Amino acid sequence: MLVCISLSIFACGNTSSESLTDPTSDYSVDSTSESKSAPDGEDKIKAVIGNEPDGYTVPEMDFVKKKFVQPALTDEEMYAVVFERLSEIAQREKDGNYPNPNYELGETYFSFTTGTEFDDVYKCSGISTDMDLSAEFSTYKIIANELSPSSTSTAPVNNAYWHKYFKVMLTNLDFQVSASDESDYTVFAYVYDNGSENETKYAICSDGFVRTEQSDGTISISDKKVDAPKIYMVATLFGIIHNTNYMYSHTSVSLPNEKVTFHYNGKTATIDSADAVKLGYNDQMYDITKTFINETFMSSVDFIYISLGNDKYYVIDSHNNLYYIWNNFYHTKIIGGYVSMQYQNVRLCKGVFDYSKIVELFK
């Protein structure tokens, strides 16, 4: 949960690359710890084994317990979603924090700033990778207006629900020439409509209006506002699904500089970070097999985890899958400002650690 969001905590979040800096464990080894070593040989590892503190419970990793279901809406119902039920500013609880989003409903938090402080935090809904995709839907493409160290391309909106969302939105917008001195807005995302002979590009702007450039260079503005925070999240969603950016398909798996602690069945095993290579680890960029956004991903309770602090974890299962879990806010630079987002974000990488070798540390 968040008390305040500012650019001063960028070290805890990051841009779209999401590289970690000096993550640390939340839990320490207790006084009953003992040292053990792996079998003799070149792969010998000295591990300090301990018990979790009294009252310890395993942190909740997967907040999504059931399948996310997209509703099938009529055009009239979708009109209400697009134009009437816009994302609202989230309210803090009595302790000053924001409540955790309901990830099972596809809820996310979104905030934008052109300065150093994020003031208004919007709660969006319906954002989840747990949805059906089909080549049948190819009319619309979308892209977030992000600044990225690698090139980014548009993503097809190839899902029935979101296809209807943009069809209803664009069908019910009228455009008129905007004032020539109008400039107090930032573009969040672009939506491309190739349903006609000439593709049309629409800018989704921070003031809620949609703008498009005419053939003579004039800018036209929509007669109604749309849900700009949600549409930015949709652009992020489809960009991740379709790997439109190198950083959506590759990630680093950084470890603490000196010690790394594995948690397993109520015990901890702490080793020198340099010894992680003997457990299969390699300090490199790993392919992201799949990214789960507000989608259930845990199929087993038999796992090992590393706590990175700030609601971030590495979870290793018995199939040598590593799930990089990030449940806190993270920030990214867009053209004209900064965006802060929170949702259940899980990246699946394969072959980072050898699960069986880690288990041996505890024996």
Q: What is the pLDDT along the chain (363 residues), one digit of tens a residue?
A: 444 454 433 333 333 333 322 222 333 334 345 555 554 455 689 999 999 999 999 998 999 988 899 999 999 999 999 999 999 999 999 898 889 899 999 999 999 999 989 989 999 999 999 999 999 999 999 999 998 777 889 999 999 999 999 999 999 999 999 876 667 899 999 999 998 778 999 999 999 999 999 888 899 999 999 999 999 999 999 999 999 999 899 999 999 889 999 999 999 999 999 999 999 999 889 999 999 999 999 877 889 999 998 889 999 999 999 999 998 898 999 999 999 999 999 999 999 999 999 999 998
Cβ atoms of 345 and 332 closer than 8 Å = no
Write down the number of H helices and E strands in the chain.
5, 25
pLDDT tens digits, 8-42: 333 333 333 333 222 223 333 343 455 555 544 55
Task: Give the tokens for residue 4.
Answer: 């305040």
Q: Output the CA–CA distances (angstroms, integers) from residue 43 to 15, 52, 172, in the order listed.
A: 36, 26, 66
pLDDT of residue 148: 79
Q: Output the CA–CA distances (angstroms, integers) from residue 98 to 93, 102, 281, in the order listed.
A: 6, 12, 36
Measured between alpha carbons, how far is 5 from 120 in angstroms, rounded to an integer? 10
Cβ atoms of 255 and 271 closer than 8 Å = no
Measured between alpha carbons, how far is 69 from 50 in angstroms, rounded to an integer? 42
